[in-house]
Structure 1
Amino acid sequence: MAVDTPLLKNHEEEKSVSYVKEFGPESKRLWKIAGPAIFTTVAQYSLGALTQTFAGQIGELELAAVSVGNSVIGGLAFGVMLGMGSALETLCGQAFGAGEIRMLGVYMQRSWIILLITACCLLPIYIWSPPILHFFGESDEISRAAGKFSFLMIPQLFAYALNFPIQKFLQAQRKVLVMAWISAIVLVLHVFFSWLLILKLGWGIPGAALTLNVSWLLIVVGQLLYIFITKSDGAWSGFSWLAFADLFGFVKLSLASAVMLCLEFWYLMILVVITGHLENPLVPVDAISICMNIQGWDAMIAIGFNAAISVRVSNELGAGNARLAKFSVGVVSITSVAIGVVAMAVVLATRDYFPYLFTNSVPVAEETTKLGVLLSFTVLLNSLQPVLSGVAIGAGWQSLVAYINIGCYYIVGLPAGILLGFVFDFGVEGIWSGMIGGISLQTLILIIVTSITNWTKEAEQAESRVKRWGGSAANH
């Protein structure tokens, strides 16, 4: 044993040096994807958030209408569309890693077909949103105003159906800079026309809806032009009848992805609806909507890392590089948690000031400040949780994470929030505390799952998945 101990010690030291040495290059690879992806997600999220900010300058009802319309009706559609489109992250990423470039365009077209049909199925929710919101406890005043806004936002629904498959198609090839430039140009136009239509010309809610719809359609058109003109290095070879093959199997994977992500998005949406049941709901609904807005902006950073780690994991597993996939997970986790700590500190330092960016109402601002401490813990948790979800998407664990989300959010978090908010009379602070409990439990379970994963086995499964979906794994 005395002879083995120094050898073992040297081996451990070599591993540590190797880890530190490789951290920089892997971090650079991640940031090359994550940087533009973060900018893209922040810019696209800002479209709705800025519309909400402009609406808040008109009055409390307009703020509540756009907030509830965006977070409840729009949030439901966003979750479904993003979730259904996330099947492409697994398939396109692993096919790209395996060298089956030609299949990416076919996968995107299959996803378009499925998402456009899904958009048609979601139309009744937009059309009859006032009675739906009222049924779930929103006041008549908020339900009518939010319903009017939601009905006008139907074009955005179909823009989502086209946009998310396009984004996953481009992300898998690491063409994230293209999306960033298009989003930046649209964001500048959106700010100007929001100010012009909502405030200057006084078009109010109809002006907000018009600007938001056009902005999302411009993003779709810009990305499509890039793909059709450049052919995306062979990934796009035109429309194909192959898009209609294997649709049932594609639907199954899309539904698993949708359930996984929708359970997260709907959880936040339900919290806004539950808050509407409180006494004098206008102020707490506005306050929680402002906090959701801030949390959403912060979450866009984590979602950028979600996209980056999904691409890295799926590409490396598709190429058969199990060790690199595992290493990438460690690097992105350390990086995102460090950013989360900084974001937490910023929220705590500015909680007395940031509410006034969204509202002129002193009661709303004061209620938002009270939620500031809870919001700071949420942004810390949200620095890691979406990243672990990205690992799950890259590896194809959507079904497993869907079950974890059901347990953590709907069996633990939601009942705890209702209990604290209504039975123990902590109000909106109690509702938010329940959410933190659910996210904490989910994050802990995902950490354990990721830690015990056999990455060599995952690489083998990725190879068989690429073969099953129309390609043959490249020899590596």
Structure 2
Amino acid sequence: MEHISLSVPSPNSTFPTSFQMSNGDEELNSRLVSLLPKEEEEHSLSTRICAESKKLWMVAGPAILTRFAVVGVLISTQAFLGHVGSLELAGYALSFTVIDRFAVSILLGMASALETLCGQAFGAKQYHMLGVYLQRSWIMLFACVILLIPVFIFATPLLELLGQDKAIAKEAGIICLWFIPVIFSHIFNFTFQMYLQSQSKNMVISYFSVFSFMFHLFLSWLMVIKFSWGLHGAMTAMCISMWFPVIGQFIYVLCGGCPETWKGFSWSAFSDLGLVAKLSLSSGLMICLELWYNSILILLTGNMENAEVELDALSICLNLSGWGMMIFVGLLAAAGVRVANELGAGNANATRFAIVNVVSTSAIIGVVLFVLFLVFRRSIAFIFTDSEPVLEAVADLSPLLAFTILLQSIQPVLSGVAVGAGLQKMVAYVNIACYYLVGVPLGIIFGYVIGYQIKGLWVGMLVGTLIQTLVLCYITWKLDWDKQVELARERVNKWFLPESPE
């Protein structure tokens, strides 16, 4: 008997996303469709904006708060080390922005595959698969960390090979050993974030992260200022603070916080790893190419004259940029969840509206931060250092920092849209073309050939980011979202439906 597929377009429908009906059941088909809720387009624009913004900020708010707290632990550690000594500050800047970011970008990218998998599974009401994919992601990321450990152990010779100052490279090598337990904590921090935010349950992560950040400030003050333990005290406080949220998240999930999506540890986690590996590698490549961009800027700066001051100033600017970017990374996560949920539910129009809403929201925030960074261009650096040469260098770079923040308000959100739709590989190609074929060569030309030094390097990078943002805007505008709904439906049928909870 010939079969046809009935697709349910409304994300609020109580019916499955896709099911089979025979030609003889056409009357039943029409009755079922008549029972579906009216399209959201019939509501007023203001009502739709409010409803969509509520869904957006249910994910974005906790995601931003969580990332602020996590990055706050890392950046506040740098702030404490900045008052220990200039060499310690430069060593931490080099290890954090080059070695640690190299590893974090791989892990974060691979973990972001869960945004696609969990988001579309949740939209398709295949709740049991979220826990299975969480465990599969743990396996992939743990194997990846094992392969990355030698990079941290041999950080000093690697940095010297890349032309970095020997004294700074030696200090960075010591600090990198302290980052090894932190890297292991990222396996669970990143994956729990993706898993919980796909269900709009990531507020619990915020509670743990914020408490961890406040505890870290006290612990760092105690070990660095009160007991004068210097570098070792600061890094010990960081390691403890990074593992605290992991323990809390385990307790929450394993003790019944997600009864629909966590069915316990399953042997299914060891099957079909190829699908997770394929999507994880695509996601990892996309994120790596974005985050390594700033690392290249740090490496190029380390080869300049007066490298210590220049490196300190640039690392402060990039950390301020990174802290501000946490807002947009939170919106990236929300964009991925909203797009994945709506595609999984089969609603192309709601997907388009969600994209417009999140991009507009992020752009407005970007303009506000752009103005603030221009106004407080010098005073904000006092958080990290009281060195007058470094303060002047930061003030000189602040206009470039402000323009970077403005561009970052759009580009990460568009990457989040791609993650929600499972288009990570396409974004990776765009990143290669714009960042590494345009931005890096222009930075070298402006910085070294023309002689604008660090400003020239940064301008070249900004041009690459601008081109990438414009290309992603064009791709998102031209993408056939009705076709993406069909592709999402195929993924649902292929990935989720054959599985059943144990």
TM-score range, shorter chain: over 0.9
Match status 1:316 vs 2:342: yes
Q: Contact 1:83 / 1:260 at 8 angstroms: preserved in 2?
A: yes
Deviation at 1:257, TM superposition (A): 0.3
Q: 1:214 aligns with which of 230, 240, 245?
A: 240
Deviation at 1:248, TM superposition (A): 1.7
2:200 corresponding residue in structure 1? 174
Give the TM-score normalised by the residue count of structure 2: 0.90
2:129 corresponding residue in structure 1? 103
Distance 1:110 1:58, change over 3 A: same
Deviation at 1:408, TM superposition (A): 0.6
Deviation at 1:25, TM superposition (A): 1.6
1:447 corresponding residue in structure 2? 473
Partner Cα separation in structure 2 for residue 408 and residue 252 of structure 1: 24
Deviation at 1:20, TM superposition (A): 3.9
2:314 corresponding residue in structure 1? 288
Deviation at 1:17, TM superposition (A): 8.6
Query: The residue matched to 1:371 in structure 2 has which SS?
Result: helix
Partner Cα separation in structure 1 for residue 41 and residue 56 of structure 2: 21
Partner Cα separation in structure 1 for residue 69 and residue 336 of structure 2: 20
Q: Contact 1:108 / 1:165 at 8 angstroms: preserved in 2?
A: yes
Deviation at 1:69, TM superposition (A): 1.3
Q: 2:181 aligns with which of 144, 151, 155?
A: 155
Structure showing greater Rg: 2
Match status 1:277 vs 2:303: yes
**Aligned AA for 2:485?**
A
Deviations 1:226-271 (A, max 9, x none): 0001150321111111001111221111000000000011111111
Partner Cα separation in structure 1 for residue 490 and residue 496 of structure 2: 10
**Aligned AA for 2:147?**
C
Q: 1:85 aligns with which of 95, 107, 111?
A: 111
Deviation at 1:162, TM superposition (A): 2.0
Partner Cα separation in structure 1 for residue 179 and residue 118 of structure 2: 30
Partner Cα separation in structure 1 for residue 41 and residue 329 of structure 2: 30
1:249 corresponding residue in structure 2? 275
Deviation at 1:199, TM superposition (A): 2.2
Q: 1:412 aligns with which of 408, 418, 438?
A: 438
1:459 corresponding residue in structure 2? 485
Deviation at 1:19, TM superposition (A): 3.4
Structure with the larger helix share: 1
Partner Cα separation in structure 2 for residue 16 and residue 361 of structure 1: 60
Deviation at 1:360, TM superposition (A): 1.2
Deviation at 1:31, TM superposition (A): 1.4
Deviations 1:28-79 (A, max 9, x none): 2211211111111111111101000111111111111111111111111110
**Aligned AA for 2:351?**
A
Deviation at 1:201, TM superposition (A): 1.5
Match status 1:35 vs 2:52: no
Q: Contact 2:381 / 2:394 at 8 angstroms: preserved in 1?
A: yes
Partner Cα separation in structure 2 for residue 348 and residue 380 of structure 1: 11
Deviation at 1:221, TM superposition (A): 0.8
Partner Cα separation in structure 2 for residue 67 and residue 275 of structure 1: 12
Deviation at 1:152, TM superposition (A): 1.6
1:141 corresponding residue in structure 2? 167
**Aligned AA for 1:49?**
I
Match status 1:403 vs 2:429: yes
1:11 corresponding residue in structure 2? none
1:24 corresponding residue in structure 2? 50
Q: 1:299 aligns with which of 302, 305, 325?
A: 325
Deviations 1:135-178 (A, max 9, x none): 11210011000110001211011111222111111111111211
Partner Cα separation in structure 2 for residue 237 and residue 279 of structure 1: 58
Match status 1:430 vs 2:456: yes
Distance 1:280 1:219, change over 3 A: same
Partner Cα separation in structure 1 for residue 336 and residue 275 of structure 2: 21
Q: 1:385 aligns with which of 395, 408, 411?
A: 411
Distance 1:15 1:101, change over 3 A: closer
Partner Cα separation in structure 1 for residue 274 and residue 124 of structure 2: 23
Deviation at 1:398, TM superposition (A): 0.3
Q: Contact 1:91 / 1:466 at 8 angstroms: preserved in 2?
A: no
Query: The residue matched to 2:409 in structure 1 has which SS?
Result: helix
Deviations 1:174-231 (A, max 9, x none): 1121111111111111000111112222222222221111111111111111000115
Q: 1:55 aligns with which of 63, 81, 86?
A: 81
Query: The residue matched to 2:322 in structure 1 has which SS?
Result: helix
Partner Cα separation in structure 2 for residue 224 and residue 467 of structure 1: 30
Partner Cα separation in structure 1 for residue 492 and residue 102 of structure 2: 31
Which region of structure 1 is more displaced relative to structure 2, 317-326 or 230-239? 230-239
Q: Contact 2:132 / 2:269 at 8 angstroms: preserved in 1?
A: yes
Deviations 1:344-379 (A, max 9, x none): 000000012112221111111101111000100000
Which region of structure 1 is more displaced relative to structure 2, 20-29 or 151-160? 20-29
Q: Contact 2:407 / 2:469 at 8 angstroms: preserved in 1?
A: yes
Partner Cα separation in structure 1 for residue 402 and residue 292 of structure 2: 21
Q: 2:266 aligns with which of 240, 260, 263?
A: 240
1:64 corresponding residue in structure 2? 90
Q: Contact 2:84 / 2:231 at 8 angstroms: preserved in 1?
A: no
Give the TM-score normalised by the residue count of structure 1: 0.95
Partner Cα separation in structure 1 for residue 93 and residue 245 of structure 2: 22
Deviation at 1:15, TM superposition (A): 8.0
Which region of structure 1 is more displaced relative to structure 2, 116-125 or 429-438? 429-438
Partner Cα separation in structure 2 for residue 191 and residue 231 of structure 1: 29
Q: Contact 1:197 / 1:203 at 8 angstroms: preserved in 2?
A: yes
Q: Contact 1:96 / 1:173 at 8 angstroms: preserved in 2?
A: yes
1:350 corresponding residue in structure 2? 376
Partner Cα separation in structure 2 for residue 448 and residue 20 of structure 1: 26
Structure 1: gaps spanning 5 or more residues: 1-13
Match status 1:371 vs 2:397: yes
**Aligned AA for 2:156?**
P
Q: Contact 1:306 / 1:388 at 8 angstroms: preserved in 2?
A: yes
Q: How many residues align?
A: 461
Q: Contact 1:316 / 1:324 at 8 angstroms: preserved in 2?
A: yes
Q: 1:185 aligns with which of 211, 226, 248?
A: 211
1:6 corresponding residue in structure 2? none
Deviation at 1:125, TM superposition (A): 0.4
Partner Cα separation in structure 2 for residue 448 and residue 139 of structure 1: 42
Partner Cα separation in structure 2 for residue 190 and residue 132 of structure 1: 30
Deviation at 1:16, TM superposition (A): 11
1:341 corresponding residue in structure 2? 367
Match status 1:122 vs 2:148: yes
**Aligned AA for 1:109?**
Q
What is the percentage of aligned positions where both structures have the same residue? 45
Deviation at 1:470, TM superposition (A): 3.1
Q: Contact 1:311 / 1:394 at 8 angstroms: preserved in 2?
A: yes
Partner Cα separation in structure 2 for residue 369 and residue 141 of structure 1: 26
Q: 1:74 aligns with which of 92, 100, 122?
A: 100
Partner Cα separation in structure 1 for residue 267 and residue 274 of structure 2: 15
